[in-house]
Amino acid sequence: MEPFACDTLPGRVVFGAGAARTALADEVARLGVSRILLIAAGGGESVARDLTAPLADRIAGTFTGVQPHVPVEVADAARKQAAEVAADAVLSVGGGSATGTAKAVALTTGLPVIAVPTTYAGSEVTPVWGLTEGERKTTGVDAVVLPRLVIYDPELTASLPGPLSAASGLNAMAHCVDAFWAPGRNPVSALAAAEAIRVLAAALPAVSRDGTNLDARSDLLYGAYLAGTAFAVTGSGLHHKICHVLGGRYGLPHAQTHAIMLPYVLAFNAPGAPEAARQIGQALGSEDPAAALQALAAQLGLPLGLRDIGLREADLAEAAQLIEPAVPADNPVPAGAGALQSLLRHAWAGDPAATAGAAAEVAPGTVPAEPVPAGAAQGAREAAVTAEVLASFGGADAPRYLEIMQSLVRHLHAFARDVRLTEPEWQQGIDFLTRSGHITDDRRQEFILLSDVLGLSMLTVAINAPASAGATESTVFGPFFVADAPEVPLGGDIAGAAKGRPCYVSGTVRGTAGEPLPGARIEVWESDEDGFYDVQYPDGRTGGRGWLRSAPDGGYWFWSVRPAPYPIPDDGPVGELLTAAGRGPMRPAHLHFKVDVPGYRTLITHIFAAGDQYLDRDAVFGVKDSLITDFAEHPPGPAPDGRLINAPWTSVTFDIVLASLPPAPQDPGI
């Protein structure tokens, strides 16, 4: 663990639907305050009065002049009223602006703040204050403004209109993402931030679909609380510095600016902060978290480009110049004015967020002369389709199903975008899949062939059979396994209807510690001398397959025929695919093995004949050096089992080593 420093902030938080009605009076009494200045934001005045009715005798006055970003005149007026009523506490009911006004009073008077937030701003758990004078907003940190008590009541957020909920929730998301590289970042705030990202990403679409969904509102508020706690100790990172300039200098709306910028800043910083990007991605359930955030914003119907909320293209260069001095010195990637301008240009145009990753590579001080994409809305349109499809799986009960389907959709859509798939091309793809389906039956499996020639089978093997020191390597299963192959005794012959030079196969089955494994079930299948498996015979005869069990000392031996190289079935769609790529359909000669022993990892593998001309161009990528084996040729004569063979014959030895399975996890009983 790296060394770190972290401020753990005090304050009591009471969270629950209805808490503002049921708990506020008692909680205030616990604080022992009796002359409260109530600060209620414009529209929320009547709500604030209702909530405070049970403690009416402690309300000394009500201030209703709240304005966004706390102009100094508003702060002065609130402070004046606090003095006039001899307040001993300030209670804010409202969004970040109401909380900010209460903080402004606390900053000069030291009065304790009680906050009942009605948005997802998160200000109520931070020691950060902000005041605006003319066009200039000043912020600072002072422990005295940190509310002593926060009552989170999701019911109060139910009246927040959809677009405001979305923007405010994404604002909370911005606190979390920036917390990963802001100056005060630490492992504890990263935990809160990651959990908040997870909760917010799930709750935002749910609230957007149904603003009356109190469970989702509750999650959103909880995520906003966590986001605020992370932001409170890490401070502002690059993202907040950018938004601060865009809001303060160009009057862009606070929450929308955050929602637009966040994916771009993430893509920009990710190359220099891969672990942060990984954690953010994990929380979002995406390998491309910047795209996921952009898709989320699109799904929520938020604008995706700064130009959509009023920033002029002509302002980009100046904005970059203004942001540059505020960039934290330890931002994960250098952010000079040139890089910032490029980043802003992508965000202005609403380009796919990934484009901002390249902005980081622009040398500081240079201004890239790149054209502004004509169809800036195009990226947004495409992201919206992906987002809608991803959301359509949101109702899935099984988490693994959800993970697989959403990942599949993300990657399929990314593929289509990547190649700019045309409609005729996709029609061709559909036709390919249709024909693959029509040619498939219980003896011909075109989809396994497709998986094999695309390398997906071998990749799945690699994922699921991790290299285990000393164990025999795995390879593809292939399309020719048959579950009910005949059993043969030790020393028996599996050749059946398969013709070819007799081949004596022998070896041992052991564990990685060298222990013999008796009774191992060894399944073998192979092609005949013409390269055909029995399932390809027109008359349904069985040959070149069977199963046996290893002897008490782990040994095994049987007869078969020497396998031959063969083409995978290439008279269907997969064959066309190979031909179009100039690839051949051939597989080097091999024998398939499937070996099962309880308590050991099932081995699915082949042995390949050394010297085969196709070893370096197996159509299905299955060859591994450790599986290449000598098939020795012998003249007619006695075989190792005493049998007299009156024709040339072959022998091969294959010692099989199985990895043991880890013990089943114990129930921890907690």
Compute the least distance from the CB of residue 191 to ligand NAD, in Å.
20
DSSP designation for 523 = E
Q: Which is nearer to ligand NAD, 168 or 186 (CB)?
A: 168
Piece of the chain touching ligand NAD by CB under 6 A; list 121-129, 437-445, 547-555, 641-649:
121-129
Q: Which is nearer to ligand NAD, 156 or 476 (CB)?
A: 156
Piece of the chain touching ligand NAD by CB under 6 A; list 39-47, 53-61, 265-273, 279-287:
39-47
Residue 89 forms beta bridges with which residues?
36
Q: Which is nearer to ligand NAD, 100 or 352 (CB)?
A: 100
Compute the least distance from the CB of residue 65 to ligand NAD, in Å.
13
Residues 6+ apart with CB under 8 A from 269: 181, 238, 276, 277, 331, 332, 333, 360
Binding mask 159-188 for ligand NAD (x = CB under 6 A): xx---x---x--------------------
* Closest residue to ligand NAD, based on beta-carbon distance: 96
Compute the least distance from the CB of residue 400 to ligand NAD, in Å.
36
Which amino acid, residue 628? I
Q: Is 121 in the site for ligand NAD (CB under 6 A)?
A: yes
Vertex 577, ends 575 and 581: CA angle to 5°?
115
Q: Is 211 in the site for ligand NAD (CB under 6 A)?
A: no
Question: How many chain residues touch ligand NAD (CB under 6 A)?
Answer: 28
Which amino acid, residue 443? R
Compute the least distance from the CB of residue 221 to ligand NAD, in Å.
11
Q: Which is nearer to ligand NAD, 161 or 552 (CB)?
A: 161
Sign, CA dihedral 599-600-601-607, equals negative
Which residue in the block uniquely carries the two structure tokens 């990934």? 354
For ligand NAD, the binding residue among 128, 174, 227, 297 (CB under 6 A) is 128
Give the three-state DSSP class for 91: strand
Compute the least distance from the CB of residue 135 to ligand NAD, in Å.
14
Which amino acid, residue 557? W
Return the number of other C-beta atoms located less than 10 Å from residue 195's C-beta.
17
For ligand NAD, the binding residue among 92, 119, 269, 355 (CB under 6 A) is 119
Q: Is 154 in the site for ligand NAD (CB under 6 A)?
A: no
Dihedral, CA atoms, 39, 193, 218, 11, nearest 10 degrees? -40
Compute the least distance from the CB of residue 397 to ligand NAD, in Å.
32
For ligand NAD, the binding residue among 20, 39, 40, 41 (CB under 6 A) is 41
Q: Is 563 in the site for ligand NAD (CB under 6 A)?
A: no
Residue-wise burial string across 98-134, b where 16 or more C-beta atoms lie within 10 A, e elsewhere: bbbbbbbbbbebebbbbbbbbbbbbbbbbbbbbbbee
Piece of the chain touching ligand NAD by CB under 6 A; list 8-16, 125-133, 539-547, 577-585:
125-133
Cα distances (angstroms) measured from residue 2 to each of 5, 186, 187, 275: 10, 9, 9, 13
The CA distance from 278 to 193, in Å, is: 13
Q: Is 96 in the site for ligand NAD (CB under 6 A)?
A: yes
Q: Is 77 in the site for ligand NAD (CB under 6 A)?
A: no
The CA distance from 584 to 570, in Å, is: 9
Element (H, E) at 387: helix 376-392
Q: Which is nearer to ligand NAD, 7 or 382 (CB)?
A: 7
Q: Is 204 in the site for ligand NAD (CB under 6 A)?
A: no
**Token pair of 240, please?**
């907040």
Cβ-contact 285, 406 below 8 angstroms: yes
Phi-psi region of 94 (alpha: psi -120 to 50; beta: other; left: phi over 0): left
The CA distance from 306 to 303, in Å, is: 8
For ligand NAD, the binding residue among 157, 186, 236, 527 (CB under 6 A) is 157
Closest by CA position to 623, among listed 638, 632, 611, 633: 611
Interface with ligand NAD in residues 241-300 (CB under 6 A): 254-255
Q: Is 130 in the site for ligand NAD (CB under 6 A)?
A: yes
Interface with ligand NAD in residues 403-422 (CB under 6 A): none
The CA distance from 119 to 99, in Å, is: 10
Q: Which is nearer to ligand NAD, 97 or 218 (CB)?
A: 97
Compute the least distance from the CB of residue 296 to ligand NAD, in Å.
18
For ligand NAD, the binding residue among 81, 97, 234, 474 (CB under 6 A) is 97
Cβ-contact 271, 350 below 8 angstroms: no
The CA distance from 176 to 168, in Å, is: 13
For ligand NAD, the binding residue among 62, 81, 92, 126 (CB under 6 A) is 126
Binding mask 354-393 for ligand NAD (x = CB under 6 A): ----------------------------------------
Cβ-contact 225, 119 below 8 angstroms: no
For ligand NAD, the binding residue among 52, 123, 457, 650 (CB under 6 A) is 123
**Token pair of 204, please?**
């935002």
Binding mask 99-118 for ligand NAD (x = CB under 6 A): -x-----------------x
Piece of the chain touching ligand NAD by CB under 6 A; list 119-127, 356-364, 386-394, 471-479:
119-127
Cα distances (angstroms) measured from residue 253 to each of 104, 172, 196, 493, 566: 22, 15, 23, 80, 67
Piece of the chain touching ligand NAD by CB under 6 A; list 37-45, 177-185, 427-435, 560-568:
37-45
Q: Is 235 in the site for ligand NAD (CB under 6 A)?
A: no
**Token pair of 35, please?**
């002359």
Closest by CA position to 146, among listed 122, 128, 172, 120: 128
Sign, CA dihedral 245-247-252-257, equals positive
Q: Which is nearer to ligand NAD, 116 or 270 (CB)?
A: 116
Interaction site with ligand NAD (CB under 6 A): 41-44, 68-69, 94-98, 100, 118-119, 121-123, 126, 128, 130, 156-157, 159-160, 164, 168, 254-255
